[in-house]
Amino acid sequence: MARVAIVTGGSRGIGEAISLALRDEGFTVVANYAGNDERAKAFTAATGIPTMKWDVGDHEACLAGCQQVAEQFGPVDAVVNNAGVTRDGVLHKMSFEDWNDVMRINLGGCFNMAKATFSGMRERGWGRIVNIGSINGQAGQYGQVNYAAAKSGIHGFTKALAQEGAKFGVTVNAIAPGYIDTDMVAAVPAPVLEKIVAKIPVGRLGQANEIARGVAFLCSEHAGFVTGSTMSINGGQHMY
Ligand code: CAA
């Protein structure tokens, strides 16, 4: 039977590419999303991949959502914590809400989804959790104390949970994307983005599929000895 994977934020951007890559690897994929119903419908129509709506920042909603996936499709073997938001702004202008939304969704989402699925993976002796961090969690970024803190937290979360999963066949890894050609990056003011791209040795933004291929490897049978690692996919912008 095909293994079941949930990709959070899986109907758009990097998440969409991950959903497709895991489907191509033979997983039964469910793409979670939080807001954009129209996009989710179009995604399912185009790909045949089902979507389910819940807020990954809501603990109870994650428990209920994952339970529903398990009932409909079978036990959850792989989770890709990709859902994330930005609320950029310098600290002196940042509201508590902007801080809290990013922590609750980006970092809290990883905890909530792991709580909902890790015990089952551990009991069955096989699991894959891939958390999407960021270059900005590794290096920091002007105007992103919230996002950098949450993404940095994801890298710590990954290394800690990897130690708990290792002897049960559950690997936990992170990918740290650089600047990828998505709506999120397109929202960075053009003159700021130009300066950032000028500092990428490869000389361009990354493509969502370049992240997705890394996720597919980490979720595969071949990656059983890879755990607690962070794969940087950033065009050489930060070598860490
Ligand atoms: N380092 C030092 N100073 C900087 C700077 C930097 N990187 N960027 C801007 N500044 C300075 C500016 O030069 C300016 O100085 P002056 O007033 O002396 O000219 C001052 O800071 C104010 O800059 P802004 O006009 O840009 O300030 P703002 O309040 O209008 O906007 C901001 C601030 C919202 C943070 C804006 O700069 C911005 O959007 N920056 C991009 C942040 C970013 O990279 N986000 C990534 C989003 S994508 C993502 O996160 C995905 C991923 O994982 C990679």
All domains in the chain, ordered by first residue: 4-232 (3.40.50.720)
Assess whether the C-beta atom of 143 lies below 6 angstroms from ligand 1.
yes
For the whole model, what pTM was predicted? Answer: 0.96
What confidence tens digit (pLDDT) does each residue in 129-164 have?
999 999 999 999 999 999 999 999 999 999 999 999
Q: Which helix (H) or strand (E) holds 186?
A: helix 183-186
CA distances from 117 to 36, 55, 128, 129, 204 (A): 25, 16, 10, 9, 37
Q: Does residue 240 carry a pLDDT above 80?
A: no
Q: How far is the CA of 32 from the centre of ligand 1 (A)?
A: 31
Assess whether the C-beta atom of 54 lies below 6 angstroms from ligand 1.
no
pLDDT tier at 1, thresholds 50, 70, 90: confident
What confidence tens digit (pLDDT) does each residue in 35-94 have?
999 999 999 999 999 999 999 999 999 999 999 999 999 999 999 999 999 999 999 999
Q: Does residue 8 carry a pLDDT above 80?
A: yes
